[in-house]
A and B are shown apart, each in its own frame.
Chain A
């Protein structure tokens, strides 16, 4: 009951503080909302590019050469095994029988001359082939996949353009690293801004803090209203950022759809949903409490409060 009173009191205090000087606090909220907007933009852009990537990047192909004496039933079995793989690994596959292979070969003008004489239906040296379109560029997953396919019955040989796979993988990783790096940078900026805001608040309220401590206020008594104050600011800033980012997304998507006439395939940003906003807010509030804690400790240590 006492604790509920204390929390209730802290919330009321922090709301009145903001309402008493709305303009002063508006500036804080604006700065924080810009940081949150940048953070969520990075999130949206990486997410959208992942969607774009799956429909626009050609992931490596795996060629499965079947044994010469593979029968139709063996091929069916193999197809069943392949189709059981996860969607994240394999998008689809295509079967090219030895007869089809021969036909394609015979249609090739230059090869026609030699092939027609040497190769006939009855002495077709070509194997049946399964072409698998993968859904990933992760080298580790791909090599596992190749190994598992290679161990399957009637599989003679498995090949993949490793060089291409690595290039794609490097590109995707590079983008991921940049996004992660930027996110870390802006989370640190966020923590520093909240930290400084709280330190300033404490210096402005130094008398109150000193007197409270003298008459027995605990650290958490001092910290509680500051934490609520910061959480309130961050929540308001997040809402503002939500509107900012979605406005920005719609604006950019308008630009992209114009560019579509120039480049063909379009890049579209997905909107930030309210669920994502909620999840982000939870994480930001954890960071907020952490920076409030740091600020309070700093003031207690340096201001002899």
Chain B
């Protein structure tokens, strides 16, 4: 089996109205690797992560994740990858019309799990982010850090092999941010391939395994 789980081959992404988000990027990430994606706001971090998740498609070049080519025409590949990776969105994408439990179960519903298994998996996910006592609370009653952990619980509930976090520490104080990074370290230890973006590199110093730096859509240094 190929040791590389994510491969970018000369990838560019041009958004409508000719906005070039990333330009001619090639990279590969091994299974079980922990990688940080650093760069200022607008550098193209979210775009790279969305390309890996099959949410956006490359304008040029190819993106291959776990052996699946994620081009515009391969919608079934992209749907499959979306279902099987965990994605922690920069803007959270929490559903405020339902409680914590019902937010976290969503990926399992999509995968068609039984009610019985869903209860067990959600409980386990909430426990691993320390939210087990908030199961039936509505999201607006959670603090910023708790909301971030809710997102993490939803991203790991189906036990994905790849976990992607888009600026998970951006809106948190240092204590909360360190707590989140600690969580990620545990997932990494358990063998999950992890990609984490951040615009503030200082927080990463203690954890840095491999840092990819982006500037205006290109690799820097």
Contact = CB atoms under 8 A, between A and B. Distances in A.
Interface of A: 1-3, 5-6, 9, 207-208, 210-212, 214-218, 221
Nearest to B83: A216
B114 A215 contact: no
Interface stretch (B27-35, B87-95, B123-131): B87-95
Contacts of A1: 112, 114
Shortest 8 CB-CB contacts between residues of A and residues of B: A2-B112, A216-B83, A216-B82, A6-B112, A211-B93, A217-B110, A5-B112, A5-B114
Contacts of B83: 215-216
A221 B82 contact: no
A5 B115 contact: yes
A214 B55 CA distance: 7
B113 interface: yes
A214 B106 contact: no
A19 to B, nearest CB: 15
Nearest to A205: B97
A249 B50 CA distance: 61
Contacts of B96: 207
A216 B110 CA distance: 7
Contacts of A5: 112-115
Contacts of A2: 111-113
Contacts of B97: 207-208
B132 to A, nearest CB: 22
Interface in B56-92: 79-84, 87, 89
B6 to A, nearest CB: 17
B148 to A, nearest CB: 16
B82 A215 contact: yes
Contact of B110 (A3, A207, A210, A212): A212
Q: How large is the interface on B (under 10, 10 to 19, 20 to 34, 35 or more residues)?
A: 20 to 34
Interface string B33-57: 0000000000000000000010100
A208 B84 CA distance: 19
29 contacts: A1-B114, A3-B112, A5-B112, A5-B113, A5-B115, A9-B109, A9-B115, A208-B95, A211-B93, A211-B95, A211-B106, A212-B106, A212-B110, A214-B53, A214-B82, A214-B87, A215-B82, A215-B87, A215-B107, A215-B110, A216-B79, A216-B82, A216-B107, A216-B110, A217-B110, A218-B79, A218-B110, A221-B109, A221-B110
A13 to B, nearest CB: 9
A15 to B, nearest CB: 15
Q: Label chain B's interface by main secondary structure.
A: helix
A6 B106 CA distance: 12
Interface of B: 53, 55, 79-84, 87, 89, 93, 95-97, 106-107, 109-115
Given A6-B109, A216-B110, 11 more contacts: A2-B113, A5-B115, A214-B55, A214-B87, A214-B89, A215-B82, A215-B87, A216-B79, A216-B83, A216-B107, A218-B110
Contacts of B87: 214-215
Contacts of A212: 106, 110
A207 B80 contact: no
A208 B97 CA distance: 9
A192 to B, nearest CB: 28
A274 to B, nearest CB: 34
A304 to B, nearest CB: 11
B79 to A, nearest CB: 5
Contacts of B106: 211-212, 215
A211 B106 CA distance: 9
A211 B84 CA distance: 15
A214 B154 CA distance: 13
A207 B95 CA distance: 7
A5 B114 CA distance: 6
Q: Which of A1, A2, A208, A215 is the most central at the interface, judged by chain B CB atoms within 10 Å of its CB? A: A215
A217 B82 CA distance: 8
A233 B197 CA distance: 46
A147 B67 CA distance: 76
Nearest to A4: B112
